[in-house]
Chain A
Amino acid sequence: MDEPILRLEGIGKVFGPVQVLENISLSIAPGEILGILGENGAGKSTLLKIVSGIYTPSVGTVHLDGEAFSALDPITARRHGVAMIPQEFNLVPTLRVYENVFLGQELRRGGLLDHGAMRRRTRELLDSLEVALNPDLPIERLSVAEKQMVEVARVLVNDARIIILDEPTTVLTDREVTVLFKVVRALVARGVAIMFISHKLKEVKELCDRLLILRDGQQVELCAMGVLSEEDMARKMVGRELSQIYPDKPPTSAHETSPALRVRGLSLKGVLHDVDLEVHRGEVLGLSGLVGAGRTEIAEAIMGLRRRDGGELCIDGKVVDIRSPNQAHALGLAYLSEDRQGKGLQLSFNVMQNITALSLKRYVRGLIQHSAERRQAEHYQQRLSIKAANLAAPVSQLSGGNQQKVYFSKLLDIEPDILILDEPTRGIDISAKQQIYRLIRELTDQGKAVIVISSELEELIGMADRVLVIREGRVMVELCGDDINEEQIMLYAAGARQHANRERVGS
């Protein structure tokens, strides 16, 4: 094997009191593809940022071309040929392909831009990747896959020799993935080393030579691909005790009554296909799946935020038609968006105004009763222990956890019967998480039905009474009881295991 182009030696990273990475050692040779697997928060992106010089490791050294760095900066990393293709593309939509490829490093002749040379060079690069793409097209006219190719061409201008692909396939269709893999192999043939991050086990297995599995910042496995099956991979990514932050689940009971919410054949063109689900009072239903699988779209279609292309909704056995969030709220539904700051809370509004955003009608006796609003806000402040010095201050001043509690209060204030919670604990600390888990259980104990959408498997396992795994807009499987575990969920979510028809697994 060739000399390693990149070698990490005992890399560790600490953020405040939190150990994010611990003792990572690996090396990559030119022309090698290293797959990196791990759950959210396992330390993948921290590792990538260390390699590309954005973060400085707390301990350990990075060797590039045999040169040792204890502190790497982005410019040095780039000079040594490290390039990252991010999940969110950094392209200027209004500029042309070649202008983007050379953005910030334009070729000049006599002080003026040399459009001809840039166009020619871009065409050469794209040809070498066997991608047929007109360098003169504006970026906004390209598909997601084509944009990705532009990003690849962009790093090749710099003679990149280590290319980091951060979950490049989540946004691609199967056919586009095939093209991407062809391009990756073409790069490898030129001696480029690839670090490939993905959630999809099958792809990793298909593409990579070696595999690094991270769990809680630790290197669990570093081995040649041949040895491991997909099931092994899933098991290694997971395997951890669930801590006691989850309240006890109630014993499973037979649901004799009709479900609080029943969805039949829900479809959104190109996004959701014939989704069935039901949730009973007193129950937490988990929706699992990879990012982009269609979980949020299910919630938004139910809430009337998206126009359904098909499907029927029943609440307490009665068929209902929901075309707007207002109607959904009136029928006792409430939705907590995953995008707290973009769709959930008015950041410039104060705590009171946010809490009464849905329920404002209740505070109007001719005019808004501001004192009643304040009393209600104080009630929630106490009930959910919201730490806010001043209820009249904008919620942007609160911490993420307290903002989330305000968002919950906003939903609770319309006294909903069915709550759909999309990533209810995203970006909040562990103690706030625990409080929110307790609150969710409290709500089901009161006879409310709760749907939890989450990317954190641990959270679903800890909270959900049943779990539906969603993949590519379809319900793949329904898991109950002991079958709700990370291995099962991962296998179905990543498509490693598949049933011709959706089935029910578990007791």
Chain B
Amino acid sequence: MLRHVTRKAAGWLLMIVVATNATYFLASWFLDPRANFRELRPVRTEEQIDRALAPYHLDPRVPLVHRWWEWLTSVVRHFDWGSSPTGVAVNDEIGHRALVSAELVVIATVLSVLLGVALGVYTASRQYGWADRLSQVVSVLVLNIPTSVAALAVVSVAIWLNQHAGLHFLYVAGENSPNVEGLLPTIGDRLLHLILPTLTLTLMGYVGHHLTQRSLLLDTLHADYVRTARATGLTRARAIRRHALRTALIPTATSVAFSIPALFTGAVITETIFGWNGMGRYFLQTIAKNDVHGTVATAAFAAALTAVGAILADIATVFLDPRVRVS
């Protein structure tokens, strides 16, 4: 069992390494760090610009492979993800932001899995009931709404609620308020700020889990072994809970890993709309500033999130499916 998980984890680690390095080359081809200096006055020559970039291993005159090797060794040896073209260390920028984004993505993933699976199970066992039909309509509609539209709809509703219902805890901008002192107030403040962005991301994420869990469970509901279980004297509800549900959850565990990249995309948009200083916005800024190292660090972060999700999913699979343990 441990071997199984370790082997899977090694595979995901390899995925992170390949994805991050591929992003490095793509970023080096598609981003031009010199652009940051061309607008500056007094006008610098190309040579001057290249020289300015050299200390950060961004000098275009150095062969790409050499630059890559420098970057790679510094990442591996010192966990130093390099600097922006203007010399700001990437590590200093991402520490805080990674936490902010991870908070958002992890909470939203957990909530959307819980909500989606619960809804899927509930509606599958009451197929064609009114709750099933209603949630089906809602989910299909949500599936068709762009994240930006959903986020702004959430913002509008929150503002309306704040104005008309006299609520004051729905924050539509930023990840915390200035001038909050003390540990508990800080945590409380952050949590309040989390509500709306998390709500938006959860809304975007739960739909897939709802629809797939529903059809997975519907498939297993009619399986022969559920009938056998009922023949031994279990009621329909108990037979479903004990025999069908657990089998139907196994593929869901795997699909959680595949849902994280989409959720990260949602996070980029959500952070933009809610004015959060997370990795998503950082990514947009680094691209705008032609910051190769910053971009690569964001990609590595996203890959790491996916891998963590995938490894957790593998562990969940082992617990759900005892066959993995024996083979």
Partners in one complex: no
Seen from chain A, the residues whose Cβ lies within 8 Å of a Cβ on chain B are: none
Give B residues with C-beta under 8 Å from A. Answer: none
